[in-house]
Structure 1
Amino acid sequence: MQPELVIFDCDGVLVDSEVIAARVEAQLITEAGFPITGPELAERYAGLTFRDILLRIEEEASIPLQASLLERAEKAVDRALARQVEAVDGAPKAVLMTTAPRCICSNSSPQRLEMMLTKTGLKPAFADTVFSAEQTPERRPKPAPDVFLFAAERMRADPANTFVVEDSAHGIAGAKAAGMRVIGFTGGRHSYPGHADVLTEAGAETVIGRWADFQPILAALSQWSEAR
């Protein structure tokens, strides 16, 4: 059975933005009194919004972080992404080869998604099927399932026959909570040793490290669904 819907995360899955954002955010957090590198930030807080990252750090380190960091980080990351963001290698071809209905579900703002997808040439492949957690009624980001369920309703798809491609444990948690099946992805430049294990433990049925493997894996998992 062909999937009724294939959902792609954006950051770190379609566009190689995570490594850029982590570098900028880590510098701001370090300057605020909590030393951390970009790779450390990407690994420890993958999939979280910057607001949630700051809350986690405040809880873990008992360091108050200024609310002004949010606005500063958003502007700095947007500037860096506008200059540097590129599509993940193989992503445009993999998306176009996906014959099932497809969409994007992301924690990024609609404005940032528009900019990144336009710059990387991916926007025409999705048209108006790009969903931000900010567009959901409660505006709850992943790991809440809201954006996934919102997309499935808009696309008139059964969550049980929907596949999601995610690069973070938080994203996988949200997709699983929505009743969807998940393929983990470790092909972004922010990937780290043990990344695949983290995604598997979070609930991914399998993990791929390059887009060339996506179509065969999707077909195999779809057939397995029929056999169950």
Structure 2
Amino acid sequence: MTAIALVIFDCDGTLVDSEIISAKVESEIFTDLGHPLEPAEIQARFAGLKLSRIIELLKEETGMVFPENIVERIENETMSRLGQEVKDIAGAHEILDMIDLPRCICSNSSTEWLKTELDHVGLWDRFRPYVYSASEVGTRRSKPAPDVFHYACKEFGVEPQAAVVLEDSVHGVAAAAAAGCRVVGFTGAAHTYSGHADALTEAGAETVINRLLDFPAVITALSGWSQD
């Protein structure tokens, strides 16, 4: 059994309740362009993926034609709303007081995006400088590639099996599991959907929680749980 030595948080949908805002903006803009997609479908299918990848998948699957500036348009509108509307997930500040281990954030979002939303809820200074944007560090490959988790473990000098990751998306869970980390799924944000917990378990989460305040106890328990 390996004791946990590093706690890695995803950000959107685990520390801040931002995924629902992103999905609403994307839904509004896609609908405006004549390609209606409900926020619930966007959340269930694409949570955790970079916006550019979502656009690629929609083009491949549906033949949708998007303006060249579609990514910039959605990102600008979403960031504007995040800076005004985003809230921290209940318990986010409290658990950081309870967890006495090194910690960092590994996200597919840009550093600019992360700073905007984390600053708004007072969490930026509780993590910086250990906030890693997958497209800006190491190999620059985003989740579901495991690279950002490998990068974080190397930065802290920790073997992946000694790191626990909290993730809300199937793509994030799969990436962390592929990296060799212990993974806890989270379904406590506003964008959760029917079957969410099962999907996270199938992707590789060892357990799933819907309250952040349960996370510290799970970290303690994981040190005594076998991954077999």
TM band (smaller chain): over 0.9
Unaligned runs of 5+ in 2: none
C-alpha distance in 1 between matches for 2:31 and 2:144: 26
Unaligned segments of structure 1, at least 5 residues: none
What TM-score results when the alignment is normalised by the length of structure 1? 0.95
Residue aligned with 2:135, SS? helix
Work out whether 1:200 is the aligned partner of 2:225. Answer: no
Identify the residue that residue 43 of structure 1 maps to in structure 2: 44
Q: How many residues are paired up? A: 227
The list of structure 1 runs, each at least 4 consecutive aligned residues, that deviate by more than 6 angstroms after superposition, is none
Q: 2:168: which partner in 1?
A: 167
Amino acid across the alignment from 1:87: D
In the alignment, the residues of structure 2 paired with residue 33 and residue 60 of structure 1 have an alpha-carbon distance, to the nearest angstrom, of: 16
Q: State the alpha-carbon separation in 2 of the partners of residues 88 and 160 from structure 1.
A: 26
The alignment partner of 1:134 has SS state of: coil
> Amino acid of the residue matched to residue 35 of structure 1?
P
Aligned 8 A contact 1:8 1:103 in 2: yes
Alignment of 1:6-155 (within 5 A): 6-155=7-156
- Paired with 1:80 and 1:123, the residues of 2 have a C-alpha distance of 18
Kept in 2, the 8 Å contact 1:106–1:132? The answer is: yes
Q: Percent identity?
A: 46
Tell me which amino acid in the other structure corresponds to 1:61. T
Instruction: Tell me if structure 2 keeps the 8 A contact 1:142–1:174.
Output: yes
- The one-letter code sitting in structure 2 at the alignment partner of 1:213 is D
Q: CA deviation at 1:98?
A: 1.1
Displacement of 1:67 in angstroms is 2.4
CA RMSD of aligned residues (A): 1.4
TM-aligned CA deviation for residue 32 of structure 1: 2.0
* One-letter identity of the residue aligned with 2:92: A
* Preserved CA contact (<8 Å) 2:138 2:148: no
CA contact (8 A) 2:4 2:222 kept: no
Q: Which letter maps to 1:28?
A: I
Distance 1:185 1:197 in 2: 11
Asked if 2 retains the 8 angstrom alpha-carbon contact of 1:9 and 1:106, the reply is yes
Do 1:183 and 1:204's aligned partners in 2 also have CA atoms closer than 8 Å?
A: yes
**2:158 partner amino acid:** A
